[in-house]
Structure 1
Amino acid sequence: MFSHRVRVATVRSMRMTVIGCGYLGAVHAACMAELGHEVIGIDVDPEKIAALQAARAPFYEPGLPELLERTMATGRLRFTTDIAEAAGSAVHFVCVGTPQKKGEFAADMKYVDAAVDALIPHLGAGELVVGKSTVPVGTAARLASRIADRAPDTEGLAWNPEFLREGHAVEDTLTPDRLVYGVDGGADTAEGKRAKALLDEVYATPLKRGTPLIVTDYQTAELVKVAANSFLATKISFINAMAELCEKVNADITQLADAIGHDDRIGRKFLNAGLGFGGGCLPKDIRAFMARAGELGADQTLTFLREVDSINMRRRIRMVDLAREVCDGSLIGRRVAVLGAAFKPLSDDIRDSPALNVAAQIRLQGGDVVLTDPAALDNARKAVPDISYAETVEDAVRGADVVLLLTEWKEYRDLEPATISGLVKNKRILDGRNALDPARWRAAGWTYRALGRPRA
């Protein structure tokens, strides 16, 4: 298991700023301090800053609380709401969010723009601004022009996209599978070489371990993250489309995925059929990618992503339909136990969560929903207050007409059928993540159904 400790090579400690201390920024700040740098995290939210300054993670991420405690004890990491404290840092990372605009597919850039505008008055000669947020292509050039006009003595702007997986963010930052620098004019310009030199100092430790590095222009660096997310989303929706066909002919999607996954041109990763993807990245990123393509006059280029998104959303509808089907055609008055609220395990993130969306839809159709989750209960309660919540699996399933596994936490994957058989009203389980062994549950007397799996 990854220990979240990195053996730091002998490198020059740099003073750097991380603007935006949400999921990306808080992890990045702590990891940069772990790599030996002096880091100041800045955010406009005083409650978030108070928590971080007390070495408390404001969200669930394995390894982050210990990392915060360790790095803050060294004195290399601190947090503030005062943007003026950015002055004097060699590098300034912009890590603020780019959520989807209300009523549109496009990304909302107001937080990125506000962060850069607030930072510019405090920039000094030779300092570099580095964007890490996921942005529409063309953003870096626009911001670079603004910085050049208002802070001409700086080294300008670089774009350094992040590739974090929630639940593995500390590991992914300290030991990345690749680094990408988008620099002004590309790697061969004088500006690009100076920006690269500064970023090489930031990432000296992973670079000395042989982490692959790609140095490119702004627009290519901006496209890397959205292209990667679009590919992953497409792969997930492809296997879920195959699951729809499997249900029609009573075939087994897991065996189909195993068979095609042996082809090394395809691979088995991200071919797990089920409820589909959610969270704060894939859904909004593919929609923003489509919107930006339209703005650039390339509407036809990404039309396939509309179907990717549509397939993904259909999975949620199908799970509700399946729950109603096993409950003899009606959810009214049925007690429905939902295992999982977060969009994925090892996270408390409920943004665009398929699990929470299904739970809310079942409630709207008259179901008596009781939901549990190891980490996301507080967030779920705030988002969907009109369903019931339970702290334990046992409390959630007691008296249930049907149990839905919707987030594949290890404790749910490892559930023993006998453990909860005596608690439920009817032994029916719907496996929304194809995470359980059908034979074991059926042998224990349960009706087992899953997306894309044979009925029996």
Structure 2
Amino acid sequence: MRISVIGCGYLGAVHAASMAELGHDVVGIDVDARKIELLASGRAPFFEPGLPEILTSAIEAGRLRFSTDMADAADAEVHFIGVGTPQQLGSSAADLTYVDAAFRSLAAVAAPGSLIVGKSTVPVGTAARLAAELDELGTGARLAWNPEFLREGFAVKDTIEPDRLVYGVADPADVEVLDAVYAAAIGAGTPRIVTDFATAELVKVSANAFLATKISFINAMAEIAETVGADVTQLADAIGHDARIGRRFLNAGVGFGGGCLPKDIRAFAARAEELGRAESVSFLREIDAINLRRRDRVVDLAASLLGGDVHGRRIAVLGLTFKPDSDDIRDSPALDVAVRLHGLGADVIATDPEGVANSRAKHPQLAFTESTDEALAEAELAVLVTEWSEYRELVPADVAAAMRSPRIIDGRNVLDPAAWMEAGFDYRGMGRHAG
């Protein structure tokens, strides 16, 4: 099929390349000329495993091209809108400026009978509003909503082999169009849910709200465990055996971040308030508060381990991105911890396999290195805050030999406390006892 993807940020670039990899003829459109130039040359403007390979193969096969001109999308049968919906400045609500601009620019060129498909995460009611605008314009194009469920680090696989497909449609005929787009996934048995606009919009934000709730729940239990001397990791193992609960996303630590969960739960709460149903999701405010408290806890632990004050003390911060296998530092707990420690006067040196460049651009006041060994050299405290495999696999004895004094905070509970204490470390986890 002939497909356009409007917005070539994280979501759009992955979707465009993946659709081309599946055999569709795809054009990606974005107003950012530098981003388009990078993508057109087969280079991703962000780190995502597997994306450069499918970009290159699809471009070389002639199935993928990029442009800054919306007119180049005019002959597409299906148009996907995948622009960002950041948090508004001074508000928890989602900023729909980019969605509205992309929609109106696209509506001006979309051919009669073509299908415009929203993928951006938007407040419920957005699709109905845009559909009404489309009718008023009289373009003959139609609207559907098809939320994305990408995990950074696995986005290519999640697009090509999704765990479910959700279609929000007003016209049943549009189901056949979307089935043609996702024929490979449907042929492989991917579950498909066909519903209305509002339900499709709620699916994404509800999923993120539930995941955030589960993560913050175990972090709240970590706060209790720290008070009474229990081990939250063993607690999670025990309750995770209950099939009604499950073990996934019950990993206590420094909390969640990134460009989705934090802003999406805030936008969901803001939209519920607009709808007169603030009490229905009032718990999300506490979920957000619990999450942010875990960052405070890491900073407090650092001060405690260093005798009450971090001023002038050399601290190695291992990790800057909000999760491993990504260069995304948006609302990153790891970067926030580094900034807070620096603000308290610590001599911070921060490192990350992929996040140094983005972090340096946002916080040039910090000292960075791309070398783990250099970060650890002569440090009085190491703080592991992003669970990259290379940090999980550190050899305690080697780290102890490099540091000035063997102290470590395991902000993700991914290290073996016994092994690190045996190597002489003063070890602190998140909600787990050291011995």
- TM-score, structure 2 normalization: 0.99
Residues 73-222 of structure 1 mapped to structure 2, 5 A cutoff: 73-154=60-141, 156-184=142-170, 191=171, 193-222=172-201
Q: How many residues align?
A: 435
Instruction: Specify the code of the residue in structure 2 equivalent to 1:196.
Output: V
Residues 235-274 of structure 1 mapped to structure 2, 5 A cutoff: 235-274=214-253
Mapped pair 1:440 → 2:427:
no
State the distance in 2 between where 1:173 and 1:111 align: 22
Question: Structure 1, residues 301-345: CA drift from partner, whole Å, max 9, x if none?
Answer: 000001000000000001000000000000000001000000000
Could you say what secondary structure the match of 2:316 adopts?
Answer: strand
Residue 386 of structure 2: aligned partner: 407
Unpaired stretches in structure 2, ≥5 consecutive residues: none
Note the C-alpha offset of 1:123.
1.1
Residue 20 of structure 2: aligned partner: 33
Note the C-alpha offset of 1:148.
1.2
- Once the two structures are overlaid, the 10-residue window that deviates more, 417-426 or 50-59, is 417-426
Note the C-alpha offset of 1:151.
3.4
Could you say what secondary structure the match of 1:158 adopts?
Answer: strand
State the distance in 2 between where 1:325 and 1:378 align: 31
Residue 46 of structure 2: aligned partner: 59
Residue 340 of structure 2: aligned partner: 361
Note the C-alpha offset of 1:152.
3.8
Residue 46 of structure 1: aligned partner: 33
Note the C-alpha offset of 1:159.
0.1
Residue 210 of structure 2: aligned partner: 231
State the distance in 2 between where 1:227 and 1:124 align: 33
- Once the two structures are overlaid, the 10-residue window that deviates more, 325-334 or 143-152, is 143-152
State the distance in 2 between where 1:377 and 1:166 align: 17
Note the C-alpha offset of 1:455.
3.5
Unpaired stretches in structure 1, ≥5 consecutive residues: 1-13, 185-190
Residue 287 of structure 2: aligned partner: 308
Question: Structure 1, residues 402-448: CA drift from partner, whole Å, max 9, x if none?
Answer: 00000000000000012222211110000000010000000111111
Note the C-alpha offset of 1:99.
0.2
Residues 299-378 of structure 1 mapped to structure 2, 5 A cutoff: 299-378=278-357
State the distance in 2 between where 1:134 and 1:121 align: 23
Could you say what secondary structure the match of 1:51 adopts?
Answer: helix
Question: Structure 1, residues 281-310: CA drift from partner, whole Å, max 9, x if none?
Answer: 000000000000000000100000010000
Question: Structure 1, residues 362-384: CA drift from partner, whole Å, max 9, x if none?
Answer: 00101010000000100000111
- After TM superposition, the runs of 4+ consecutive aligned structure 1 residues lying more than 2 A away are none
Note the C-alpha offset of 1:199.
0.5
Does the 8 A contact of 2:417 with 2:434 survive in 1? no
Note the C-alpha offset of 1:93.
0.2
Could you say what secondary structure the match of 2:108 adopts?
Answer: helix
Does the 8 A contact of 1:123 with 1:151 survive in 2? no
Residue 286 of structure 1: aligned partner: 265
